[in-house]
């Protein structure tokens, strides 16, 4: 019997050595220390032994049980330690690796220019006044001194809607009437930014949809000198403190006199290059003194009030600033283009 107990002990310890995972360890415990293990059976059958044998066998079995339990605990702890070490190795995070760069969004180049324009005019005391993109023919043309069949309407090829008299605004100038009617007889200093639409051939310089920023100042004794001074000041803040400017006569039905403002080409410094088409100058906006008829349509008495207005295209200005040669790039949503700003 004692020999049998020793053999059980040897087999159990040999098996234990081979165990490499905790599931097998549990099976081992059931096999050697469980209710139906060989050792338990010996205890169950103690009645078959002689009186002398019983205490000896009982002690041996209990000693072995204690030994096995201890060995089980030691092996279990070793297995746990092994598995911790294994996962530490496999889940190791190398904190010295360089981080992955986040792809951050950015503002569209036209929006960047728009924001710069807003902040310059805000500094000069001009508020933003928003007006509608779907407009009445009356505001887009008639009240701006272009009655039906007026030849100047041809300057703006128009998108018409299915409702007669309702169009997509071809410029931001109808906003002049809206703001004057809302504010008369108070003095006005506003810019009117927004989208415009023209039924035009799309080319590298012309889109059918583009932004404009209109400006309007109305008050007593505003003169052409105010217009020149204000716009020159804008150009210096927008482009360069030393930029040269000039005003060329132009015609717009809603301003009299009318002009276009050029800035000295900042690529060649006025020497002539392909960007300024070898003229040394770049056109940036149309402007003029608000026509008396338009002032009257807005609710201001032209005998008492005067004003100036201007309109510029932020996409064209952005093209000049960054030497972009095709306006179509603004609406293509091509990453390679947008990423550069
Ligand atoms: C006008 O639209 C006038 N309403 C401007 C004005 C306002 C004059 C107030 C006097 C007083 P014009 O058609 O030139 O003018 O357009 C003004 C600017 O809008 C142009 O200089 C250009 O920068 C931009 N623009 C015009 N058409 C397009 C187009 N198809 N695509 C992109 N930009 C355009």
> Phi and psi (nearest 5°) for 253?
-65, -20
Say what the pLDDT of residue 48 is: 87
Of 215, 187, 212, 210, the residue nearest 200 (C-alpha): 210
Is 90 exceeded by the pLDDT of residue 258? yes
Helix axis angle for 53-90 and 2-18, nearest 10°, is 0
Which atom of ligand 1 is closest in space to residue 314's alpha carbon? 23
- Report the pLDDT value the prediction gives residue 40, as an integer from 0 to 100: 85
Q: How far is CA 83 from CA 29, 94, 263, in A?
A: 19, 20, 75
Dump pLDDT digits (tens) for 260-270: 999 998 888 88
Highest mean pLDDT pick, 21-35, 88-102, 188-202: 188-202
What's the whole-number mean pLDDT along residues 252-278?
90
Cα–ligand 1 centroid distance for 98 (angstroms):
49
Where are the domains positioned within the chain?
2-90, 109-338
How far, in Å, are 12, 14, 71, 192, 197 from residue 19 at the CA level?
11, 9, 12, 82, 80
Q: Which CATH superfamily is domain 109-338 in?
A: Bira Bifunctional Protein; Domain 2 (3.30.930.10)
Which residues are within 8 A (CB) of 121 and not within 5 positions of it... i.e. 6 or more apart?
191, 213, 215, 234
Assigned token pair, 163: 């409702």
| Model confidence band, residue 246 (pLDDT cutoffs 50, 70, 90) | very high
Is 323 a residue whose pLDDT tops 90? no
**Mean pLDDT, the chain, as a whole number?**
92
Ligand 1 centroid–CA 302 distance in Å is 25
pTM of the shown model: 0.74
Query: How far separated are the first and last CA of the chain, in Å rounded?
Result: 91
Beta strands 166-168 and 188-197 are: unpaired
pLDDT per position as a tens digit, 134-189: 999 999 999 999 999 888 888 889 999 999 999 999 999 999 999 999 999 999 99
Nearest protein CA to atom 10 of ligand 1, as residue: 287
Residue 254 CA to ligand 1 center (angstroms) comes to 13
């Amino acid at each position: 019997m004692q020999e049998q107990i020793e053999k059980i002990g040897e087999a159990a310890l040999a098996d234990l050595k081979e165990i490499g995972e905790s599931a097998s360890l549990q099976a081992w415990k059931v096999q050697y220390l469980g209710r139906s293990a060989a050792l338990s059976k010996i205890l169950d059958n103690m009645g078959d032994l002689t009186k002398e044998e019983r205490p000896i066998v009982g002690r041996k079995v209990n000693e072995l049980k204690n030994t096995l339990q201890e060995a089980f605990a030691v092996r279990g702890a070793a297995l746990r330690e092994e598995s911790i070490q294994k996962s530490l190795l496999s889940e190791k995070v190398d904190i010295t690796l360089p981080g992955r760069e986040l792809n951050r969004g950015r503002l569209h180049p036209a929006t960047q220019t728009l924001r710069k324009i807003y902040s310059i005019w805000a500094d000069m005391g001009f508020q933003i006044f928003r007006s509608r993109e779907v407009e009445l023919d009356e505001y887009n043309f008639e009240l701006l001194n272009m009655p039906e069949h007026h030849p100047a309407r041809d300057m703006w090829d128009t998108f018409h809607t299915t409702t007669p008299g309702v169009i997509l605004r071809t410029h931001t100038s109808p906003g002049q009437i809206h703001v004057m009617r809302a504010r008369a007889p108070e003095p006005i200093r506003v810019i009117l930014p927004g989208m415009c639409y023209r039924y035009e051939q799309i080319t590298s310089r012309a889109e059918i949809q583009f932004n404009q920023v209109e400006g309007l100042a109305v008050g007593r004794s505003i003169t052409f000198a105010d217009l020149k001074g204000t716009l020159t000041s804008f150009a210096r803040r927008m482009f360069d403190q030393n930029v040269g400017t000039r005003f060329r006569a132009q015609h717009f039905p809603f301003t009299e006199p009318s002009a276009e403002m050029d800035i000295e080409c900042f690529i060649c410094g006025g020497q002539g290059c392909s960007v300024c088409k070898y003229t040394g100058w770049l056109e940036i906006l149309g402007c003029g003194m608000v026509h008396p008829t338009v002032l009257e349509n807005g609710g201001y008495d032209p005998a008492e009030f005067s004003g100036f207005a201007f309109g510029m295209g932020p996409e064209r200005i952005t093209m000049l600033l960054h030497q972009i040669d095709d306006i179509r790039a603004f609406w293509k949503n091509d990453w390679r283009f947008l990423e550069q700003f």
